Structure 1
Amino acid sequence: MTGKEEQFISEAFDTNWIAPVGPHIEGFEKEMALYLKAPGTVALSSGTAAIHLALDILGVTKGDVVFCSTLTFVASANPILYQEAEPVFIDSDPISWNMSPQALKRAFVQAEKDKKLPKAVIIVHLYGQSARMEELMEICKSYQVPVIEDAAESLGAGYKGIPTGTIGDFGIYSFNGNKMITTAGGGMLTAKKKSHLEKAKFLAQQAKDQADYYQHSVKGYNYRMSNILAGIGRAQLLALDERVEQKRFIYKRYEEALSTKGIEFMPEYEGSYSCRWLTVCTLPMDNNPQDVINNLQSHNIEARRVWKPLHLQPLFQNHNFYAHIPGNSTAEMLFDRGICLPSGTSLSGEEHRFVIETVKASLYEKSAQGAILSNL
């Protein structure tokens, strides 16, 4: 917390604006739109709700196909199932760790042959790093298929000077407890067309028609953010640039200390600017990420595996997947070797040094054990 949240929360209580309507919601939406240089935004209950609304507005329905990044959290793809549509998963590339333009192109070529182009493409900006939007957008535009940017993890990141989430037709953000800024739980939608923003707001408020009584002509949702949570978001937004600097500083210390141990960090390729939501890396080939995580846990340090690719999840086992190189999945390699290191902005210098030394020791112990076995 920044320390300024209480002021906004108190104002919400003092003015009795508690429900999902009120001045903080309007203020948060305007301030986010200004930060993003976007036409407008709609504050919602979650990033998942934002994806769901985007798919609904695009007319995605039963039997339709939606292409989606495979290396991501399940929330990126669950809304496809809400619409009874069919997800098709696209691999990562080694340059950005995000959606592979090569794999996306092959998926489109096959879809055209099958005469079943996707209704939308969901491109995820993973761990705070932008996808290769120029190449990906060029492909999608050539087939006239709209793009939804899942920028849940990348608020504060950019691509060629443009904020992530504002390049495609729709952009979504998450304010969950662990994101760049938080409203405890919440999300936001932005869109190129103001008509889409108006429809999103309409659908998110149970799709109430203009009438002197409650009348409903289409299916709606209860997806609006509360005025209290929007107040928290306004205070958090004031500190976003500082958070990005802190996250990038944390990453830099890891990179300087651990690159010599054979660790490779998530790239920040030319033209991109990562907010480094999490510091993520791959371990040397002879190290098992779970062994390192377990060793860190024994020292009361929490670390995680990278996202398990969605095409490997039991929920999606019967859905199509296009690899970066046929028979050679980048996402699977990253899952096999990847680890997310502690990246909280409350991490003290002493704690950070302890984490780094413990990671080094975990790798050293593995190397030492290997050396002993090879001499037996």
Structure 2
Amino acid sequence: MPELRYILCNYSYADYSISISPAIERGLDEKTVPSTVVLNVFSTDSITSGYLDDPEKAIALDYCRRQGIVVRRRQNTGGAVFGPRGGAFLCFYLEPVRLGVPLTNIKDAFRISLNAIADALRELWGLNAQYRPLNDVEVEGRKVVPSSARLERGILSLRLMINVVNTDRDILRKAIITIPEKVQDKQIKDLGQRFTCLESELGRKIEVADLEALARLTVSNIFGQEMALTPGALTPQEEKYFAEYQDRYNSEEWFFANSERLRFKDAPAEARKTEGCQKAVAGLIRVTLLARDHKIRDLIITGDFHPSPYGVIKDMEDALRGEPCSLAVVRRKLEEIYARPGVEMAGIEVADFVSAFAKAFEQAS
């Protein structure tokens, strides 16, 4: 009988994201661990900021510290994400070809897994759950299971975030910093109109046993009833990787890598700091400059957009450092980078960056 390792754990959303998940992925990549299903029930409130963002500008760190909210910086891009205590991840770490399952591309992985958990929600509790492409499950039009996926070197990492408990909107409002540029092009709606949770839908507390039943039925719906879930734990090697990632990604050097406190710590007193923000289709662009004598002495480009590869942002900074505060120069340098093979900026145009620089230059003049 085919089997998957099954791990039940209770790390915070943030610590699971930066340490446990990559530890399992690394073990699977090295072929030292089997394909694995993890149910992680979040032990405490936590928030992550994206790889390219400045946590000091995305998250109210003092507020989170007072409230005991765990804050980490992720290894992937995007905006700040809040994981409440009692929420859950149902995660799959698989080698689809070896398992002989049709999850060999991201689109099919989302379709099959999210239809499976939607079916399980209907079968277990009668919820009118439906898969909404590309990567959500909704109940009556409200999101209950968002998801993310990555497929690299034949290894699929699929993370289904189950909205189990109500998210305190006051905490979200106070913990996550939202600047006007971020929301200027959209009508802000009440979270209750866009999201729901299992406890609200069922009118009762959801226990770990309920989530385990949901996990097992979802696995059966994906792989068939013949697939066994074998209880297990992290291997000693995975535990070692987990400890390494905790040390690395909890360090101040990592957390504040995009922050002014580290990047501008040696800034000369005569340099003027300015900042410009621009909301593009794919997210917020923030340009922070140190200008002197009409030249860019130093700069930091941050935000919640998704460049590929990530290192292209450093290339932009390096290309513009020391150049005149000129929009024509900015445009020319960025167009050269955009034209490189393999560079992708979905939803972000050169003009979006130029607009952010224009706002920063205006303050510097």
**TM score, norm. by length of structure 1:** 0.31
The structure carrying a bigger strand percent of its residues is 2
